Each structure stands twice: as structure tokens, then as C-alpha cells.
Amino acid sequence: MPDSSKPDWLSMQFDSFQRFFSKEDPPPELSLQSIIDELNKDSALKIINWAISDPPTDPNKYNECIVTNQTFIRKLSISAAYKEEPQFRKQIIYIPSPTNDGEFILSSSKGLMANRYVMIMEINRPPGIYCKIKETDASLERTLTIKPLTGKQYKYVIKTNKKTGQEKYKHVGKPHINENFSVIGKKQIAHSLKDKAIINIENPILTTEEYDEIIKLFELKQLKETDDRSWINLKVNRIGDYFYRLLYNHLAGMEGNSSYKDYQTSIKKLGKSINSSILYSDLLQLVDSKNPLSEISQKRKLTFSKHPEFPSDGLLMDKRDMHPTDFGRVCSIESPQGKKLGFNLYLAKEARISSLGTIETPFKNTDTGEEIYLDPFDELEKVGAIRSAGEASDDRAIPLR
């Protein structure tokens, strides 16, 4: 059960960065240690140790970077060895890092002072299964997409001729059996199947039995079309998720390194890749330091920029409306006009983001008066059943909206 601590706008982005690089309290899947563990399984290159420098305790350090026109960086050291070379080889890279307020301070080539930037939080699909139905007068096409935590998606397409009843089958990619789908991915799968007994949400790995059951239900037409505007099927990517993608893609490519020189070159490229990716990211936005209210909005902003079902040139009208799972999670009023209407959203005042990337909103237990935070999965389990069945429960809760 989530705790009842209030959301902290300024620390949400910084916290995700800290947890990604944490050795004491890393997220179960989105952490640098999980990338290294996967790399060390089959590669001749073994990363033996790594460490990132601590954030400054003096907040004046950030102001000093701004005044002297310097990028705020932290030092990441990585020690690796090969089987034939047991000695450790340490490499150090310097990476732009968020401040305690979730800002990047980047040097300016044109100004006398460094600029403050904020990275917009990105809405995307979590790992899981997604069913899409496309119907015409002549045919019915159903597509099942299975998305693991990392790697390419697998698609299974069944196209039925309405006149003859003949079915054509198409497979794109390889099935993801015994791969990591993360905790949130297994929760999403269990919800999509409408049967928690089939899926073990405590185990992030998708087993053969679970995969076979998914395919069976899809072929029997028992999987409903995925509601891609429901927060059950969405997650928020923060700075920690951004660094996960950057480092995973680069470190995974180091498996083919055959010498220390190759490793040294790869680490140098990693440092340059991180710097350029952040500097030229579409999600990076200059902080409006003249308007405090605008600055708060920037740090609450969410965008569908990379969501596969939401085209970048604007959303369909039915996608722009408030969804039932939006209430208490995103602001029902604040959104830009024009093509971006409904494309950019803003976190609600009391909402907060969990370590899994789900948006939690506060509820009050009607028996105890206790305030609790629930993500969409918890809300469906504890509140949704009460609303639909009208039955009393030991966990009765009402939304604080």
C-alpha cells in the first residue's frame, strides 16, 4: 500500500535520477545495476564496480554554475575487466545531472550565464500486452502486441475475411518468453486478462504458461481492445527512465568489445552520447524564470510525444477528452489550445508519481478517515468494485478530488 506522504513537485525528477543510480535502494528493474547485471551474464567484459559522485550539500553550488556559465555535472566512474585481463580498468565520464529541483544547468555559448532547463515528463506505454481491432466492411483485423521491458515488440495479427470466415495469420518479431516485463508490466497483463489467477504479478518474468494463456485468449477472441487513454495502460517516464534508455542502448552494444581499447573507446562514446542526447532532447525546455507559476506548470507537464497511438501532429477528438482515470491524476482544465489540445497534460495538484511510473491520487478511507494514495490498479481493486457492485468493504475509500 502506498504511503500517505504529500507529493513534492521539485523532487520527483531528481528522485528518479537518484534511484536509477542507487546501489542501496534501486528500482526493481529500471536501474543502472540491472543493466550491468544483464550485461555481465554472457559478455567477456565484466563491469566490476561503478559509482557516481554525491550531489552537492551546498545549494549555492548550483548558483555558482549559473553565474560562471558552467554545466552542472556529476562524475560517473566505471571499473571493468576481461576474463583474460583480471585487473580492473577504471574509466570516468562526466554527465549533466539534475539539481535537487529537477533542473539541468547547461552552459550557454551565447550568454554570460548558464541556463536552467527542465525535462518534460513523457507519457508512454509500460511493458505489457495491447490488443488493437480494425474493422472494415470486408474484414476484421485483430493485432496483439506484446511489449517487454527491453527489446523489440512482438506482434501477432489475425485477419478474418467476413464473407468466407477464412483467417490469415502473421507474426512480426519473436515471442517474448521468460523475459522481464517488470512489476507494472505484469500488473497490466493481469488487468488485460481480467484474471489475476493466471498471472503472477510478483514475478516480473513472463513464463511459458502465462504466454500460452495470453495467446490462447487472443485466438479465442476473449481479449478486449486496449483502452490506450486509460492510465492502466500508461506510465510516466522521468529523468531516471531517460537515463535507463540511454545507458541500456549503449552498454548493451559493448558486449562485442574484444579488448580494453574497445572498452575505453565505448566509455568515451557513452559520455559524448549522454551529453548530446540531453542537450538536443525534444523534452528539454528552458525554464521560465520570470514567471513562478509558469515554472511550476513546466515541472508538472506531461506529454504524449512518443506514444505510438498518439500522432505528433495532433490527437483525434475522442483522445482529447478527459478519461475517467484522469480525475485526480491530471488537471482537467490546464491544456494548450489548437493541435496540442489534450496532447500535453499537467499533473493534478495532489497527484504524485510512484517509483513504477504510475500516477497516484489521494483517497480517504470512510471508516478510519485515513488518507491513502492509490495508483490506477489499486483504485480499480479497492474503489472500482465498490462503485460497480455497491457492496461494503473493509477498505472502503472515497476520492479526495
Same domain, 223 and 240: no
Q: Is residue 262 part of a domain?
A: yes
Angle separating helix axes 12-20 and 239-252, nearest 10 degrees? 30
Same domain, 115 and 134: no
Q: Considering only residues 71 and 336, tell me which one the structure prediction assigns the higher pLDDT.
A: 71
Same domain, 202 and 258: no
Single out the residue in 227, 255, 279 at which a domain terminates.
Answer: 227
CATH number at residue 248: 3.90.1100.10
Q: Please, where are the H alpha helices in 96-207?
A: 182-193
Q: Please, where are the H alpha helices in 350-401?
A: 376-379, 385-389
Amino acid 390: pLDDT: 41
Count of structural domains, the chain: 3
Same domain, 42 and 105: yes
C-alpha to C-alpha distances, 327 to 12, 354, 388, nearest whole angstrom:
20, 17, 17
pLDDT at 387 over 50: no
Write the CB contacts of 10 (distance below 8 Å, at least 6 apart in sequence). Answer: 100, 101, 102, 299
26 half-sphere exposure, CB direction, 13 A CA radius: 16
Q: What are phi and psi for residue 317, nearest 5 degrees?
A: -60, -40
Q: What are phi and psi for residue 155, nearest 5 degrees?
A: -120, 135
Single out the residue in 247, 262, 289 at which a domain terminates.
Answer: 289
How, if at all, do strands 167-172 and 85-96 pair? unpaired
C-alpha to C-alpha distances, 96 to 33, 99, 272, 278, 286, nearest whole angstrom:
19, 10, 11, 8, 15
Question: pLDDT tens digit string along 116-155?
Answer: 999 999 999 999 999 999 999 999 999 999 999 888 899 9
Amino acid 86: pLDDT: 62
Same domain, 110 and 246: yes
Q: How far apart are the C-alpha atoms of 113 and 378, rounded to whole Å?
A: 46
Same domain, 143 and 271: no
Question: pLDDT tens digit string along 70-90?
Answer: 999 999 998 887 766 666 678
Q: Is residue 151 part of a domain?
A: yes
**3-state SS, one letter per residue, for 360-374:** EEEEEECCCCCEEEE
Q: What's the pTM?
A: 0.85
Single out the residue in 227, 246, 266 at which a domain terminates.
Answer: 227
| pLDDT class of 386 with cuts at 50, 70, 90 | very low
Same domain, 152 and 217: yes
Same domain, 67 and 139: no
Q: How far apart are the C-alpha atoms of 175 and 158, rounded to whole Å?
A: 16
**Angle 344-350-351 from CA coordinates, rounded to 5°:** 50
Strand partners, 284: 119
Domain of 188 in residue numbering reads as 128-227
Judge whether 157 and 130 are in contact, CB under 8 Å: no
* Mean pLDDT, the chain, whole residue set: 83
Same domain, 201 and 60: no
Same domain, 168 and 108: no
Share of the chain above pLDDT 90, in %: 38
Q: Is residue 308 part of a domain?
A: no
Same domain, 83 and 138: no
